[in-house]
Amino acid sequence: MEFIEAVKTGDSQKSIYMLEEHLKHNETDSEGWRMLGFMLQENDQDQQSCTALLQSIKHNPSDLHSLLQLGVSCTNILDEVHAMKYLWTWLSKNPSLYQHAGNNPILEEKLLADDWKIEEIKGITDDLIQKFEQAKTTNPQDIDLLTSLGVLYFIKREYQSAVEHFQETLNIDPNNYLLWNKFGAAIAHLGQNEVAQQAYYKALDNKPNYVRAWVNLAMAHGSNRDYQNSVNFYLNALALNPEANHIWSYLESSFICSEDIDKIPMLRNKDVTVFSGMYDIINAKEMPVPENSSYLSMTEKYHLKDKAENWVNKFNKGNSDDINKGSPDDYMQGEYIAEN
């Protein structure tokens, strides 16, 4: 399967493997790093996503998509200061919004400090929200801007405002699986787990093999003490990304919470198939191809934008031999989880 087909069918495992192989030989390919970072993010691997996206902006400092997604991934790994840094940089480099950026509210020499006071972070968040709200007055339909505001309110723990901004984005793009997931995560923090579950289902309607939505769905059911479904959804996520060690840990926690500890030894080999017959586990190879037009347009926007055909042709020509030597199972993936 060529790379472009792997992406369009939503085959994240194959796409990630192929990108990994490509970047071994094309380390300065900023677009390749951006695509890898975005796919890792969808695969619920934010720490690895940050690494790839940082490589993307290293080679193309003005890549708006990488900057925005860095803001999201850094939020998920609870690195809120860096999240705000990248969101401000996104604003400052945006050709239609830069006039609202003003001065950088985060001093470079303080970025790696470990003694941030709550008041300092709150002050930065308030400053950025004011800048982004100002930008919104002239760009009320900009989905990326509204998404950034939702993330900033999420960082500030003003979840109702985050929900409202994600709702605004969904009014503009109602089939956007990423936005449904963010909306679900924000409303879950308001204790509305049933609504969050429906949001995650909407995300999966548009991209059935969206690992992050499966994980968040499991979390939402776990919050309602519905551990049977929580376990089932974690297993579905693992069927799609079996190397995600953090999801195995959450699955073990669900067994403990449900007092189903006799199943914990079955986790030893990290093999989803041992639970076949006990749970309704999806078959990753039989997942439907995402046919929704929103998914395809977002594929163009995030994965295949900017001279994509030239990039893919170069990719297929330069790496076909290496790709054919391996399999997606050989690609060891990392670990991290966040509900956003």
Averaged pLDDT of the chain: 83
Per-residue pLDDT tens over the stretch 99-130:
999 988 876 766 666 667 788 888 899 999 99
Per-residue pLDDT tens over the stretch 59-101:
999 999 999 999 999 998 888 889 999 999 999 999 999 999 9
Domains and CATH numbers, the chain: 3-195+292-330 (1.25.40.10), 210-286 (1.25.40)
Please identify every stretch of the chain with a pLDDT value under 50, giving residue numbers as ranges: 1, 302-312, 314-315, 318-340
pTM for the structure as a whole? 0.83
Three state DSSP letters for the chain: CCHHHHHHCCCHHHHHHHHHHHHHHCCCCHHHHHHHHHHHHHCCCHHHHHHHHHHHHHHCCCCHHHHHHHHHHHHHCCCHHHHHHHHHHHHHHCCCCHHHCCCCCCCHHHCCCCCCCHHHHHHHHHHHHHHHHHHHHHCCCCHHHHHHHHHHHHHCCCHHHHHHHHHHHHHHCCCCHHHHHHHHHHHHCCCCHHHHHHHHHHHHHHCCCCHHHHHHHHHHHHHCCCHHHHHHHHHHHHHHCCCCHHHHHHHHHHHHHCCCHHHHHHHCCCCHHHHECCECCCCHHHCCCCCCHHHHHHHHHHHCCCCHHHHHHHHHHHHHHHHHHCCHHHCCCCCCCCCC
One-letter amino acid at 291 equals E
